[in-house]
Structure formats: structure tokens, C-alpha cells
Amino acid sequence: MRALHLGLLVSTLAACGGGGERLKVLTYNIGNADGTDPRYPLRLADQAYEDFVGARIRALDADLVFLQEVLPPHTCAAFTESDARRTCFDAANRPAPVQRLLGDGYSVVCDMRLQVECIGVKRKFGTIRGVAPGGFQLMGAETPALPLPSCSYAGGECDDTKCDAEATVSAIDVDTASSGAMRVVHLHPNAPGEGAGGFYLGESCRRQQLVQAFDGLVKSGVPNVVAGDTNLDLGVFASEAETALWEAQVGAGKRFTDHGHVSTSGDFYPTRRVSIPVAIDKVLTDAFTGSCTVQGANESAGSDPGTKTLDDGFDFSTLVGGVARRIDHLAVVCDLTRR
């Protein structure tokens, strides 16, 4: 009888989110800095490289995977690729690139705007509400409208009065066996850049998209996992309004914890592989403890000890399009525990 009562207690605690459940999260911007190829601007174009990176992603076996700057099916549908080495080759007869990256063990949805921001949920962990286990819904994530007129980042059209058409915040509901319902919010708001009028910070659009995420997409009464490429580093570039918005939500005594790995100097490890050493790829939660590691060396600012880039070991001399098409962000992997 006591064993029965104990079993019922454990089941009840699990159903109510009694704590102790483990959660592994991966966020990874898989784009690159090369916008010169009009067919694959900023996207994975080499099939062997995609295969290599996909195998590394799957080997991590994360429960939730956030991928930014994914190659969407409509990009491949716009032309006929004759080069079998490229990722759009025979696209109509193969799974979408994000499905190839994550494999059959994941259910996958992407944003409703341009389908370049996708979330994978491991089938053994939970189901995406409204999506069959292992299913793929190309436009399945709730996606607010852009708060400003749209522009093409790759085309050099953007400035501080517009939003990059691909800039997106989105969300899904996930039902898990251990923790019940969970809200999963994907961040990839507007980035700084270089347009016809010179450098722009992109603050107005980005700030409004963060408001959309924190005030609109986040839910009460369930655990929230918020992750992605924020395009924001308070220590490097941020307006006073953005800083105030972020600090009202994230930090000691606030709703959300930033699980990023902090160096001995007290700074978050940079998450860009090259260029300015900024910590912009984030995982935030309001119901978990634990930490993240940045996978591999940042060529400008050292490395997170004991890690390697997810593409470590690939022969970049063979990369179609050249080394400029190497992924320019670092993956962030988090091992978390429910409070």
C-alpha cells in the first residue's frame, strides 16, 4: 500500500511540475556572412557541410532545438539547382533542409513569415500542440506581424526605420510527459547592419519585437523557455530603452534567468565565431536552473573551456562557395533542471 501511495505521489508531482525534470536545449544560428550568392544568401549551400553539421546536432540529442537562418523550401523552389554538391539539389524530392538537419527523432515547426526560424522538439521529450509526433509544419509557429515596414537585409535595403523581413519572434506550445505544458518562444529579432545609408543599429524594430515576445508570446501559468539569436548584447550595443526592457525581464530577482556561461572575468562568453565578440545567442527560462556552454573558440575573444565548434573537423578547403560560407555563430548547449 505504501508503494502504491508513493507511486501516486511521484506521478502527481510530475504532472504538476514538481521539479527535478531535466531539459537539454540547443540554440544555433546556422547562417553565414556571405550574402553574395543571390540563390543562397547567408544560408548553408554545401550539402556535405549540412550533413556534417546535422550529424553533430543530432548527436547532442537536445530536447528543444532552436535554429536560426535555416534554408527554407521556398528558396530552393525559386530555381533549379544542377550542382549535386549544393543543398537545393533535387529539393522537390527530398525532405526540407531543417528536416534533414534534425532527422526523424524530432517534430519541427517554422515561423509563419519566411520559414527561416525553426524549432525542433525531440519526440521522446514531448509533442508540439497541433502537430503529429515527428511531423513537420512549415508555418506552424505563432508569429506576430513586423512592427515596422519590411526590408531585405541581404539586399542592403534596411535602415533604422524598417525591419528586416526575416527578423522574427515566434512561439509554440509543447506538451511533455514529465512537465506538462510548456511555452517555447523563439527569438531572432532585428539585427544591426549596413544599408544604403550606412550603418544602422536596428533598435526600434528589435525593441518592439522584444516587447512582442515578452508581453505577447510568453505565457503565464506554464514554464517558458525563450531562446535564440537576440541580436542584442547589453555590454556592446544596446539603447537605454532596450537595456531597461531586458533588465525588467531578465536577471537576479526578475522573471527570467539567462543561463549563459560566464567567464572568470564575469562576462558572458561570446557566441559569434568571428567579428565583434558579442554574446547574443541566449537561453532564458522562468522555471529551470542550470547553465549553458558556448561550443568552441571565438577567434576574437578566446573560448568556452573544454568545447569545440560543432563543425570542428570538417574540411573547409572543400566547402562549396569557400570558407566565407562557414557558419559564423557558435552553438549554445544548456543542461537545465526544473526547479
pLDDT tens digits for range 108-123: 999 999 999 999 999 9
Per-10-residue mean pLDDT for the chain, 339 residues long? 39 51 97 92 97 98 98 98 98 98 98 98 98 97 98 93 98 92 98 92 97 98 98 92 97 96 83 89 98 78 73 96 95 96
Give the per-residue pLDDT at 196. 85
Domains (range + CATH), the chain: 20-338 (3.60.10.10)
Give the per-residue pLDDT at 97. 98
Give the per-residue pLDDT at 7. 40
Please say whether the beta carbons of 14 and 63 come within 8 A: no
Per the confidence metrics, is the pTM higher than 0.85? Answer: yes
Give the per-residue pLDDT at 266. 81
Please say whether the beta carbons of 231 and 189 come within 8 A: yes
Q: In 197-230, which positions are buried (b, 16+ CB within 10 angstroms) versus exposed (e)?
A: eeebbbbbbbbbbbebbbeebbeeebbbbbbbbb
Backbone angle region of 130, left / alpha / beta, with phi > 0 → left and psi within -120 to 50 → alpha = left
Give the per-residue pLDDT at 299. 52
Distances from the Cα of 121 to the Cα of 56, 127, 217, 306, angstroms: 16, 7, 18, 27
| Surface-to-core class of residue 184, CB atoms within 10 Å of its CB (0-12 exposed, 13-18 middle, 19+ buried) | buried
